[in-house]
Amino acid sequence: MEEKYIMNLRPILHFTSEKNWLNDPNGLSYYDGKYHLFYQYNPYGTCWGNMSWGHAVSEDMLHWSHLPLAMVQDQPYDMAGVFSGSAIEFQQKHFLFYTGVSGKDNKDRQSQCVAISSDGIQYKKMDINPILEGDGIVADKIDFRDPKVWMEGNRLKMVVATKDDFGGKINIYEADGIAHIDEFKLVGTIRKKDFGYMWECPDYFTIRGRGLLIFSAMGVGYEKGLDQDSIVYIGYINETKISGEIVIVYNERVDYGTDFYAPQSLEMPDGRRVILGWMRMEKPLEGCAWTGMMSIPREIHVIEDVIYYRPINELFKYLTTIDIDYMKNNEMGNYSCTYEQHLIYDISIQTDAKKNVRIAFEGDESLEVNYSKTERRVLLHRRIDVNAVDVYKSPILDKDILDLRVIIDRSVVEIFIEGGRYVISAIFQSRSVADKIVINTDDAGCIVHIKGGKVT
* Active-site residue set: 24
| In the complex, least distance from residue 184 CB atom to ligand FRU, rounded to whole angstroms | 18
List the interface residues with ligand FRU, window 213-272 (CB under 6 A): 261-262
Q: Which of 40, 46, 117, 366 binds ligand FRU (CB under 6 A)?
A: 40
Q: Is 376 left (phi over 0), alpha (psi -120 to 50) or beta?
A: left
List the interface residues with ligand FRU, window 43-62 (CB under 6 A): 51
In whole angstroms, give the CA distance from residue 214 to residue 24: 14
Residue 24 interacting with ligand FRU (CB under 6 A) = yes
Residue 174 interacting with ligand FRU (CB under 6 A) = no
Q: Which is nearer to ligand FRU, 26 or 351 (CB)?
A: 26
Burial-class residue 433 by CB neighbours within 10 Å (0-12, 13-18, 19+).
middle
In whole angstroms, give the CA distance from residue 175 to residue 155: 6
Residue 145 interacting with ligand FRU (CB under 6 A) = yes
| In the complex, least distance from residue 240 CB atom to ligand FRU, rounded to whole angstroms | 26
| In the complex, least distance from residue 201 CB atom to ligand FRU, rounded to whole angstroms | 6
Instruction: Judge contact between 94 and 104, C-beta under 8 A.
Output: no
Q: Which is nearer to ligand FRU, 7 or 142 (CB)?
A: 142
Q: Which is nearer to ligand FRU, 260 or 416 (CB)?
A: 260
Which residues, at least 6 apart from 297, have a Cβ–Cβ distance to it below 8 Å?
A: 61, 62, 274, 275, 276, 311, 312
In whole angstroms, give the CA distance from residue 381 to residue 426: 9
Instruction: Judge contact between 250 and 236, C-beta under 8 A.
Output: yes
Residue 41 interacting with ligand FRU (CB under 6 A) = no
SS (H, E, C) 92-158: CEEEEEEEEECCHHHCCCEEEEEEEECCCCCCEECCCCCCEECCCCCCCCCCEEEEEEEEECCEEEE
In whole angstroms, give the CA distance from residue 174 to residue 183: 8
Instruction: Judge contact between 121 and 145, C-beta under 8 A.
Output: no
3-state secondary structure of 179: helix
| In the complex, least distance from residue 94 CB atom to ligand FRU, rounded to whole angstroms | 20
Question: Which runs of consecutive H residues, i.e. helices, occur in 376-447?
Answer: none
Number of residues that bind ligand FRU (CB under 6 A): 13
DSSP, res 239: -
Q: Which residues pair with 89 in a beta bridge?
A: 94
Q: Which of 78, 174, 200, 403 binds ligand FRU (CB under 6 A)?
A: 200
Residue 143 interacting with ligand FRU (CB under 6 A) = no
Residue 129 interacting with ligand FRU (CB under 6 A) = no
Q: Which is nearer to ligand FRU, 258 or 370 (CB)?
A: 258
| In the complex, least distance from residue 25 CB atom to ligand FRU, rounded to whole angstroms | 10
Q: Which residues pair with 351 in a beta bridge?
A: 402
Q: Which is nearer to ligand FRU, 31 or 38 (CB)?
A: 38
| In the complex, least distance from residue 327 CB atom to ligand FRU, rounded to whole angstroms | 46
Sheet of 198-207, strand order: 144-152, 155-164, 167-175, 185-191, 244-253, 230-237, 210-218, 198-207
Q: Which of 20, 99, 117, 394 binds ligand FRU (CB under 6 A)?
A: 99
Q: Which of 12, 201, 294, 404 binds ligand FRU (CB under 6 A)?
A: 201
Q: Which is nearer to ligand FRU, 233 or 335 (CB)?
A: 233
| In the complex, least distance from residue 421 CB atom to ligand FRU, rounded to whole angstroms | 26
Q: Which is nearer to ligand FRU, 38 or 261 (CB)?
A: 261
Beta strands in 340-411 (DSSP E): 343-352, 357-361, 367-372, 377-385, 388-393, 401-408
Residue 23 interacting with ligand FRU (CB under 6 A) = yes
| In the complex, least distance from residue 98 CB atom to ligand FRU, rounded to whole angstroms | 8
Q: Which is nearer to ligand FRU, 261 or 335 (CB)?
A: 261
Task: Give the interface with ligand FRU as residue ranges (CB under 6 A).
Answer: 23-24, 40, 51, 83-84, 99, 145-146, 200-201, 261-262
